Structure 1
Amino acid sequence: MFYQLYELNHAVMQPCRAFADAVKHHYSNPINPLSHTAFGRTAAAIAEMFERSTRRYGKPSFAIEKTVVDLNEVAVAEIVVWSRPFCNLIHFARDLPAGRGDDPKLLIVAPMSGHYATLLKGTVEAMLPHAEVYITDWTDARTVPTSAGGFDLDDYIDHVIDILHALGPQTHVMAVCQPSVPVLAAVAIMAERGDAFAPASMTLMGGPIDTRRNPTAVNKLAESKGIDWFRKNVIMHVPWPAPGAMREVYPGFLQLSGFLGMNLDRHITAHKQFFMHLVENDGDSAEKHRDFYDEYLAVMDLTAEFYLQTVDNVFLRHTLPKGEMMHRGALVDPAAIRSVALLTVEGENDDISGIGQTEAAHALCVNIPDHMRQHYVQPAVGHYGVFNGSRFRSEIVPRIVAFMISNGKEGSARHGQRQDDTAVV
């Protein structure tokens, strides 16, 4: 019922949002003399603040049209090369010169933890000059009809394995935050099977491999509530007329309230500054605020089964680090991984995945040779800075690229020879 009330409130507010939008355009139109006064800018700012605080933010677009490769600007095309009801695989195809050697294939596994894959736009842009980039674009569960079936943690792991099969051998995989656990599990399963399509390397970034290490507020909250509390209090049915009506989900708007609540004072300050930027006609600063919050406030629903299994396995029972994680009745054994290189990256000030939680993967993957493993802690960054921002681009990306190259197929494209071309595109 709570989800239905949320939808009703959003519908009821629609005329108010339309009026506020009209007021904003009226007082910001340069033809209107009042738009050049403090009164006009204040009126427009109040209207915009109201409209933005009551709207539902739709899925953003990557909108990556070009990149720089070998000091030359090249066009980028966004192509869906693999599709399932709950996930599309996007290839950022670069228009490279004919005859140029191949770059490493990189699969970026985006988190399914509330935000869309576009949260990693900066990650994709930073890697495009160095690799053939693919990313998992997870689908908002409220848009998937119940006829498509469910989607749980086992399905997530299967999707990662299926995508690696589609991309072919010598693919490098990068997991950002939440997918670190299922990606490590997927690679362990592939190694146990002797799968020829196991990745050449895996990079785990700010992921909750073992949340018993340096637990954060997020970890402590989960442990203080227990799985029954989450099942009773945050799982709801998608209301009609959404395509996924009656599907059980963890709603995006509840997740967003949690995101905002963790750093509420910071968000309040940011919106106060945004208001003053509008009044002072500081267009550049105001636009940066819009760009960030258009992405940050866009959230998606998660299937109930996936969310509850993730909370239970990762934050409550710690099944992976305890050696108890199961996938379709079989034990997940990271010790089976022997020929997949492992790079872990953490942020010094990460308040989501504490220091040591991602590094724990090395203690589990005991049979990876020392020369094929590396751990790096980025100073002076929080969780977001692990995969985005200036320090990510200047200090983390070069390490990832060097790690992929050093652990790629002998005679990779960067060394003058062409890799096996078994990819789907």
Structure 2
Amino acid sequence: MTERYGYAGKILIVNLDDRTSETIDTDPYIEWVGGHGMASKLFWDFCEDKTVEAVDPKNVLVFATTPFSGAVVPAASARCEFTGISPFSLPEWYNRSSMGGRLAGMMKEAGYDACVVRGKADAPVWINVVNDRVEFNDAADLWGLDAFECQERIWDEVTHGTPPGSWYELTKARNGGRTTQRPSVICIGPAGENLARVSCIVHDASHVTGQSGFGAVFGAKNLKAMSFIGSKSIPIADPAALVRLRLEVQEKFGYDIDACKVPGAPGSPGAAATVLDTSPTVSRAEGCRGCFKNCRNLYPGGVGNELTCSAGLYFTDSGKIDEQLAAYSLLSKLGLNGYEIDMPVYLHNLYKMGVMGKGKDIDTDLPFEQYARTHS
């Protein structure tokens, strides 16, 4: 393949039926650029029957990076697009979702622009991708763990127990590479294992494939997790110009949390507002890989880490931030889509309107009198 700036050059094809993998050149798919375009084309090429149900082994799940992924392109370095037949809605249809965090960049450094997941394993598995090496591992001991426990277990195994921030060898080969980075792991929690239609694939603390049900697709394929890490570089046409652009954007739109400097960065205020001004809990800014904005939070106790989606505010009407953060972390651990868990708020409003409750038009014995009783 001719070198293309911004591309790793290969696409990983995983077949769970016989636990094998192969790679194909990215070149024929570059006209689809990356992200949703590339993922859609790959789905079309590798899903032989587009009418199957989402949890059918013949369904194909594709996730793809973009030419900006893994670079320091401002606000465009972290997204990874997921596509496939989704169980999220009825009737089921082709759907998409995306996540940020570290996944896209680490996929590129492992050498891949996209990944195609086919078939179904005969027992729970997790896949370890280290540069050009792809290993299928038994996941019986991971099945049943929440998403946080699963990632921590895989981090420890892939890094051979190396303490965070320390160097370790990716492989035993002479030129196998070294890194201080944690592997980028995507996995499912109990919701995906039980094929919940509102389940997500989870990465790090709260990067998820929301509103897609793709966690159930992983679960139906007996795929608990995939881990990516690598030491490869990404070709960039003019690295110096890219760095200059990054520094300019950082100066104009970034913020200095130590100096309480919050310029008018476009988009959601995220940590730029909550950390410095309104948050009743001390926290520190966190961002997706390569982002100048850092719109997420890290809390001392780790509960509620990386919460940024407005859905994170829906889970309790108690008005207590610690309860909201705990609920958000629980949903991420279970792998549930936050927007769908907003349903109790809707039902409580029906109760307050006199429509729902014991003996009402919508008859239910749900104890609404106990809902949000601490809020007043």
Normalised to the residue count of structure 1, the TM-score between the two structures is 0.27
The structure with the largest helix share of the pair is: 1
> Relative contact order (C-alpha < 8 Å, sep 6+): which is higher?
1
